[in-house]
Amino acid sequence: MRFTTALAALALAAPVATPVAAQAAEPTLEFAFEETVTLDADVPVGATSLGTRNIVPITGGTFEGPGIRGTIMGGGWDWQLRRADGCMQIKADYMLRTDDGAVINVVNTGVSCRAKNPKAVVRTHPVFEAPQGKYDWLSQGCFIGTLDPVSLPGGKRAVRIRFYRVT
């Protein structure tokens, strides 16, 4: 009897599950902006204890979306690590300059398995550091991206990255 009473007391003290309708809505995506990032020749580092390292210099480019546009500043890098499973970890770190002069840092990470499956979609997770004010929404939001290689006139290498805000 004592055991049953203890279970009943625990059941009454347990938190009540929130009904599904009262939980947060399923996330949706809202287009933020698209970049065309120009790239220089690879800088092969070679085999490391983590895999084969490669660095791709970011030389510039442009970006545009609702309420934001500008250029990509040269001097950034895409740090690539070819893993034992044939996929590549990517981590790009670079700066945007908006057409009204704000400078925004982008650190974009992801995994590409296109060497194993050329049709694989590359998804990224960008984190933005924007100055306070007009572009706070970048620093305060959660984003995902898609990444695709593109060829520009003259054979210049580039990638197209589309960023979406998770709402």
Q: State whether residue 121 is helix, strand or coil.
A: coil
4 has pLDDT over 90: no
* C-alpha of 13 from chain center: 42
Domains of the chain by residue range: 29-166
Tell me 116's DSSP state.
T
Cα 165 from Cα 167, distance rounded (Å): 6
Under CATH, which architecture does the 29-166 domain have? Beta Barrel (2.40)
Q: What is the pLDDT of residues 108-137, one digit of tens each?
A: 999 999 988 888 889 999 999 999 999 999
Burial pattern 80-114, b for ≥16 Cβ within 10 A else e, equals bbbeeeebbbbebebbbebeeebebbbebebbbeb
Cα 19 from Cα 56, distance rounded (Å): 49
Q: What is the pLDDT of residues 51-63, one digit of tens each?
A: 999 999 999 999 9
Helices (H) and strands (E) in the chain, counts: 2, 9
Highest mean pLDDT among 25-29, 143-147, 155-159: 143-147
Segment (H or E) for 136: helix 136-140
Q: State whether residue 18 is helix, strand or coil.
A: coil
% of the chain surpassing 70 pLDDT: 87
Tell me 51's DSSP state.
S
15 has pLDDT over 90: no
Cα distances from 2 to residues 10, 14, 117, in angstroms, run 13, 19, 62
pLDDT band (50, 70, 90) for residue 25: confident
